[in-house]
Structure 1
Amino acid sequence: MSTVSLRRAVHWLRWYVREVSGESAYDRYVAHARSHDPEAAVLSRRAFERRRMDAREADPREGFRCC
């Protein structure tokens, strides 16, 4: 396997893991907020994750399951 192929595979794997784990959700939020209003305050990562978890726990259709 060439180094280019290896880099491409590592890049794809990193992207996949970030998408599946939800890691990239904050990055998408920041990009969206900045594109709509560059002057608006953006939540910190911690506040974003807290709000996201509160929303998931409040609505079972969002993927939160207790059992």
Structure 2
Amino acid sequence: MAAVARWGRGIRWYVRELTGESAYERYVGHLRRHDPDAPVSTRREFERRRTDAQEGDPGAGFRCC
């Protein structure tokens, strides 16, 4: 049973990395390590900036059209 749970966690991790869902947690962790007193953007603000950056760089391959 432990192997099945480990396999499930691995799949969940992979999907979160693939879809970018874990990017906000990485952002918060990085900010807290490097500047603990800095204000942290909300998830909504973070996603808006991330989307704007992706759409502003058409050569990055984030969109097909």
Within-5 A mapping of 1:1-67: 3-67=1-65
Partner Cα separation in structure 1 for residue 50 and residue 57 of structure 2? 11
How many residues are aligned here? 65
Partner Cα separation in structure 1 for residue 52 and residue 19 of structure 2? 17
Q: Secondary structure at the match of 1:39?
A: coil
Ranges in structure 2 where 5+ consecutive residues have no aligned partner? none
Partner Cα separation in structure 2 for residue 63 and residue 23 of structure 1? 18
Q: Cα RMSD (Å) of the superposition?
A: 1.1
Identity %: 60
Partner Cα separation in structure 1 for residue 10 and residue 64 of structure 2? 32
Q: CA deviation at 1:60?
A: 1.5
Partner Cα separation in structure 1 for residue 64 and residue 6 of structure 2? 37
- Flag as ranges the 4+ runs of structure 1 deviating above 6 A: none
Write the deviation string for residues 31-66 of structure 1: whole angstroms up to 9, x where unpaired. 000000111001100000000000000012333325
Question: TM-score by structure 2 length?
Answer: 0.92
